[in-house]
Structure 1
Amino acid sequence: MTSPHAPGLPAGRLVGRTVEVPPASLPTDLLDLLPAAEPLAWLRRGEGVVGWGVAARCVTHGPDRFADAADWWRETAAAAEVADEVREPGTGLVCLGSFGFADEPGDSVLVVPEVLVGSRGGRAWVTVVGREAAPDLPDLAPTTPPDAPRGVTFADGAMSGAAWEVVVADAVARIGAGELEKVVLARDLVVTTDAPLDVRWPLRRLASDYEMCWTFHVDGLFGATPELLVRRERGLVTSRVLAGTIRRTGDDARDAGLAGQLARSSKDLEEHEYAVRSVADSLAPYCSSTNVPEVPFVLHLPNVMHLATDVTGVVHDHHDAAGASVLDLAAALHPSAAVGGTPTKVAVELIEEIEGMDRGRYAAPVGWMDAHGDGEFGIALRSAHVDGDRVRLFAGCGIVASSDPASELAEAQAKFLPVRDSLSGD
């Protein structure tokens, strides 16, 4: 494992406190609190956490990236002293994290913010964390708003749309030949701007336009994901599976018909069944019981509709699976069939062979965890990675035997829209 401390951060015991604050003392939008430097966010429908500053940081990579990060977190949390007067999931010592999709290359990261502000169920709190001593509580006034992006230009990333269709056709042929049942293929777009992007701008747009999704930012990776990989709260585990997609038209009557079409589509139902089975099988060793609904529901988002299933379970409280944290569960679930394919090992090997790009932390777990192992990790979909004035957008599609390359390209274009629209300056 790499050093848990970023360069320049002295080693030492983490000390902090969580205090409850009146919800009315916070801005209506928690994102208004974020400074431009080192912002962190995990929000849905106005609730969640935002943070800034770095009290501690762990960077891992390779096939043991999840286990190394989980070990570091358990050691860090055990040594920390954080007085918590709220005692809810998301209070006390909390880290936010984002992980690489593949074993190599790239880094995964956990960050303990110096300041974390949370809101949930009518309660609000502030946590401050430092080394050897807790910092003072911050001013909770809105910060200076971000500037709009200027000179935004879009270009193909690793390959053109036409080239990607050829890759999809190759995958369909391999599925038809019996090599595998499903593979998820992704493509990227590259955006450049006249000045370094202030990530708070797209975060605000995404949180406003896609309030049913989880809007996030961790270490340059931002987006609004509709897919909750796993939530753990006092032993109860939930995982939302999305697979099977149709683009919305904006006409309510027509969209209602399309939703029915999606719910009856043999191609989409097949893709969805693979994904649900993958999640249920991965959770089974960690849960004393699991519940898998027989029929998916249709999740309506502003740009697309998905087949969705919420798989639930209860974490084992005995044997070697006792105390499995939300990060342990996320590691067990990644990559699910929804982002890799079926069989997973064969699908991931095919992705590495033909996809032609480095996914980085796209389509991998992103979220938060507290010292008790509770938390939420989503799948980093509808997402992008910002590095100064360069932004990479990602979108992926599940490919099965009946997939049509042109239709899959259109679906990928629809999935680019949330982040693409969030970068406009109007």
Structure 2
Amino acid sequence: MGDGAEPAAAGRAAFAPALPFALASAGQTLVGRGCLDHVTAGPVPPGEQVRSLLAGTVAGPRLIVGALPFDTGAPAHLYRPAEATFSAGRACFAAAFSPPALVKAPEGSAPRWQVRAEPSLTAYRYAVAEALARLARAEEGLRKIVLSRSLRLVADRPVDAAALLRALAEDTSVTAFCVPLEGGAPGRALVGATPELLVSRRGTAIASRPLAGSARRLPETGADRAAGEALMASQKDLREHGEVVAAILDQLAPHCVELYAPDQPELAATASMWHLRTSIAGRLRDASLSALDLALLLHPTPAVCGTPRLPAARAIAELEGYERGFYAGALGWCDAAGDGDWHVAIRCAEIAGREARLYAGAGIVPGSDPVAEGEETSAKFAALLSALGIDEDGQPLVEDRA
């Protein structure tokens, strides 16, 4: 990238996304098409590159979109789209990802899938047990380690990322997203439906809505309500949630003149999961801090990494056995004024050709149970698997016709 005077020049027009960027929530949707400039890897921090790129922009949208990887040492994937459209609700999402013409599907037309757990559920439980042993020894002051596992799915045809995104977006309690990625098979993208806001900025007003502590939703109303109530009463989950909130408040406090969080979390629901959620609000001391700057400051939170951050990240690298990539990173947008939204990249899959790699994690704290944590990851896979129409073994879901 030379001397840094033109931070985006080396990446200009080097990325041609096959799919639109999309961030669709009940309140607002952003769709970005094409690529004018691409932030490149190098010694200049991403926040500085983006400020320089947007300050010099004379044509096209004055915003960047993209994703931050889980590993803070890996390159961010940020680019300026050629077109960007905002809408209230999901109007522009429906236009960008409209369903195909309603034609009766021929018999036997559903994709066939092969599924391999990486690591296996048994290996994941062993990793949780080892994490608990490290917590018990308080190695490097560890108090929490977030361990994930993945499912590698291979279909007999290219995966339809747009169809998957449309299915995920049916749950209006989450933010559905599509982030086209570089390299790999054509149409490579990170697709998902996240319930967690890392940070939002409008002027000097900021917000964060972290999640930690989860329980599977149940089909029977009474049992489902009881599962939510049990989560709200779980000391283990409340402890885990408190670690996340405290870390975010500690990171934001030096940069805010006002900062507020309630004493207790609230119960939040998606179509498949109950979560503990806290709504944090603040006002910035330094208006030059952009939404991207704040996302880089907060990421990764204890909700996806653990505490303390660096020892937890080292433990994850040793125990998980695979690279997370953009899973448990962050995705979003930031404009020339510094406003933007960044969400935690959970409940997602990386799509590339005929493959889809799904991810799910659980926070391990003293009192965690390896079997229960494995079941939690299975519950978190449910949103993606249901959208694909299969179970964790790759078998078609059977509709309840009662």
TM-score by length of 1: 0.81
1:193 equivalent in alignment to 2:197? no
CA distance, structure 2, for counterparts of residue 294 and residue 418 of structure 1: 30
Residue type matched to 1:81 in 2?
A: V
2:303 alignment partner in structure 1 = 338
CA distance, structure 2, for counterparts of residue 196 and residue 254 of structure 1: 39
Residue type matched to 2:8 in 1?
A: P
CA distance, structure 2, for counterparts of residue 259 and residue 356 of structure 1: 32
1:8 Cα deviation after fit: 7.4
2:393 alignment partner in structure 1 = none
Q: Indicate if the aligned counterparts of 2:70 and 2:328 stay in contact, CA closer than 8 A.
A: yes
1:215 equivalent in alignment to 2:180? no
CA distance, structure 2, for counterparts of residue 181 and residue 78 of structure 1: 42
Q: Indicate if the aligned counterparts of 1:108 and 1:361 stay in contact, CA closer than 8 A.
A: no
1:161 alignment partner in structure 2 = 121
1:38 Cα deviation after fit: 2.6
Partner SS state of residue 42, structure 1:
strand
CA distance, structure 1, for counterparts of residue 153 and residue 147 of structure 2: 20
Cα offsets for 1:158-203 (capped at 9, x unmatched): x110011000000011111222111100111101122222311111
1:387 equivalent in alignment to 2:387? no
1:237 alignment partner in structure 2 = 206
| Residues 192, 142 of structure 1: alpha-carbon distance in 2 compared, 3 angstrom cutoff | closer
CA distance, structure 2, for counterparts of residue 78 and residue 279 of structure 1: 29
Q: Indicate if the aligned counterparts of 2:159 and 2:353 stay in contact, CA closer than 8 A.
A: yes
| Residues 121, 259 of structure 1: alpha-carbon distance in 2 compared, 3 angstrom cutoff | closer
Cα offsets for 1:287-345 (capped at 9, x unmatched): 1121011010000111110111011111113xxxx410000000110111111111111
CA distance, structure 2, for counterparts of residue 242 and residue 116 of structure 1: 29
CA distance, structure 2, for counterparts of residue 272 and residue 117 of structure 1: 35
Cα offsets for 1:51-86 (capped at 9, x unmatched): 22112222437xx6xx63222211111111258xxx
1:397 equivalent in alignment to 2:366? no
1:37 equivalent in alignment to 2:25? no
| Residues 201, 143 of structure 1: alpha-carbon distance in 2 compared, 3 angstrom cutoff | closer
Structure 2 gaps, min length 5? 181-188, 391-395, 397-402
Residue type matched to 1:165 in 2?
A: R
Structure 1 gaps, min length 5? 11-35, 84-91, 127-139
| Residues 194, 315 of structure 1: alpha-carbon distance in 2 compared, 3 angstrom cutoff | same
CA distance, structure 2, for counterparts of residue 241 and residue 383 of structure 1: 17
CA distance, structure 1, for counterparts of residue 34 and residue 168 of structure 2: 23
Residue type matched to 2:164 in 1?
A: P
Residue type matched to 1:169 in 2?
A: A
1:279 alignment partner in structure 2 = 248
1:374 Cα deviation after fit: 0.5
Q: Indicate if the aligned counterparts of 2:334 and 2:341 stay in contact, CA closer than 8 A.
A: yes
Number of matched pairs: 369
1:72 alignment partner in structure 2 = 49
1:145 alignment partner in structure 2 = 100
Q: Indicate if the aligned counterparts of 1:184 and 1:397 stay in contact, CA closer than 8 A.
A: yes
Q: Indicate if the aligned counterparts of 1:152 and 1:424 stay in contact, CA closer than 8 A.
A: no
1:373 Cα deviation after fit: 0.8
Which of 62, 70, 77 is matched with 1:109 structurally? Answer: 77
1:364 equivalent in alignment to 2:329? yes
2:264 alignment partner in structure 1 = 295
Residue type matched to 1:301 in 2?
A: T
CA distance, structure 1, for counterparts of residue 47 and residue 308 of structure 2: 26
Residue type matched to 1:186 in 2?
A: S
| Residues 113, 188 of structure 1: alpha-carbon distance in 2 compared, 3 angstrom cutoff | same
Q: Indicate if the aligned counterparts of 1:95 and 1:113 stay in contact, CA closer than 8 A.
A: yes
Percent identity over paired residues? 36
Partner SS state of residue 60, structure 1:
coil
Q: Indicate if the aligned counterparts of 1:168 and 1:399 stay in contact, CA closer than 8 A.
A: yes
Q: Indicate if the aligned counterparts of 1:315 and 1:323 stay in contact, CA closer than 8 A.
A: no
Residue type matched to 1:176 in 2?
A: A
Which protein is richer in strand relative to its size?
1
CA distance, structure 1, for counterparts of residue 89 and residue 160 of structure 2: 30
Partner SS state of residue 111, structure 1:
strand
Q: Which moved more, 1:148-157 or 1:292-301?
A: 148-157
What is the CA RMSD across the aligned residues, in angstroms? Answer: 2.7
Cα offsets for 1:188-244 (capped at 9, x unmatched): 110112222231111100001x21111111121111000000000121110001000
CA distance, structure 2, for counterparts of residue 141 and residue 244 of structure 1: 34
TM-score by length of 2: 0.85
1:48 alignment partner in structure 2 = 29
1:152 Cα deviation after fit: 2.5
CA distance, structure 2, for counterparts of residue 93 and residue 8 of structure 1: 15
CA distance, structure 2, for counterparts of residue 77 and residue 191 of structure 1: 39
1:144 Cα deviation after fit: 6.9
1:329 alignment partner in structure 2 = 294
1:411 alignment partner in structure 2 = 376
2:136 alignment partner in structure 1 = 176
Which of 300, 312, 318 is matched with 1:347 structurally? Answer: 312
